[in-house]
Each structure stands twice: as C-alpha cells, then as structure tokens.
C-alpha cells in the first residue's frame, strides 16, 4: 500500500483553504470544505494545468480552473462545466496526531 504523506498540521488548513502536497510525482490538492477535508489531483482534466492556481469557492465546494473556466466539485472531482468533462482523480485524506495526510492510492 502506498504510504501516507504529511500535508501540514490540521491547524494550518482552515475552512475555505486549500494546500498542495506531493506524493512522488503526483500533486495533490487538499481542501478544507466547511470543516471536511477532500483531496483531488492538482491537475485539470481538460489540459495540462494545475487547479491550485484557480479559485476555491468555499461556499459551493468547487474549484475553478483558471485556464478555461471548468469547475470541479471538490467532494468527488466531477467536472461541472465544459471544456473539461472527465472527473479529477480523488485521493484519500485523514487527520492523525493533529496532522493531515493524503496519498496517491492508484497504484495499490
Ligand atoms: S485546462 Fe482547465 S479548463 Fe482548460
């Protein structure tokens, strides 16, 4: 099983904030959406662009790619409007000993 990687202390990712962590070559974008944590690949499925440059709408729970404007649901990665159609991969996230952890589990 792929080991967990530490993102940050739980106190460093408040509701409405997001943070990028790397698991090997995989950039993972972790969101605090209204007190619940979610993790998506930091990669738009339309073209090769990082979602973390975009705006996290902490009320609607979406992240908008600033390149062409597709929005994704941070809870399940689904694309909400074109030009992206494919969902962004979702990764597990947990809090342990006061820190946030995630991992790219696709190789498990
Ligand atoms: S690269 Fe994200 S919408 Fe085009």
pLDDT given for residue 108 in this prediction: 87
Query: What is the CA(89)–ligand 1 centre distance, in A?
Result: 15
Instruction: State pLDDT tens for residues 44-74.
Output: 999 989 999 999 999 999 999 999 999 999 9
CA–CA separation, 28 and 101 (whole Å): 11
Contact predicate 105/23, CB 8 Å: no
What is the CATH topology of the domain spanning 5-102?
Rieske Iron-sulfur Protein (2.102.10)
Q: Is the CB of 19 under 6 A from ligand 1?
A: no
Query: What is the CA(67)–ligand 1 centre distance, in A?
Result: 5
- The neighbour count for residue 16, using CB atoms within 10 Å, is 14
List the chain domain ranges. Answer: 5-102
- Looking at every residue in the chain, the average pLDDT score rounds to 97
| β-strand partners of 96 | 99
């Amino acid at each position: 099983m792929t080991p967990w990687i530490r993102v940050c202390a739980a106190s460093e990712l408040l509701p409405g904030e997001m943070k990028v962590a790397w698991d090997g070559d995989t950039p993972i974008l972790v969101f605090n959406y209204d007190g619940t944590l979610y993790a998506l690949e930091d990669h738009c499925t339309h073209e090769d662009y990082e979602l973390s440059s975009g705006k996290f709408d902490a009320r609607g729970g979406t992240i908008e790619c600033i390149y062409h404007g597709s929005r994704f649901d941070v809870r399940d990665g689904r694309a909400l409007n074109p030009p992206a159609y494919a969902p962004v991969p979702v990764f597990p996230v947990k809090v342990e000993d006061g820190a946030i952890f995630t991992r790219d589990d696709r190789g498990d």
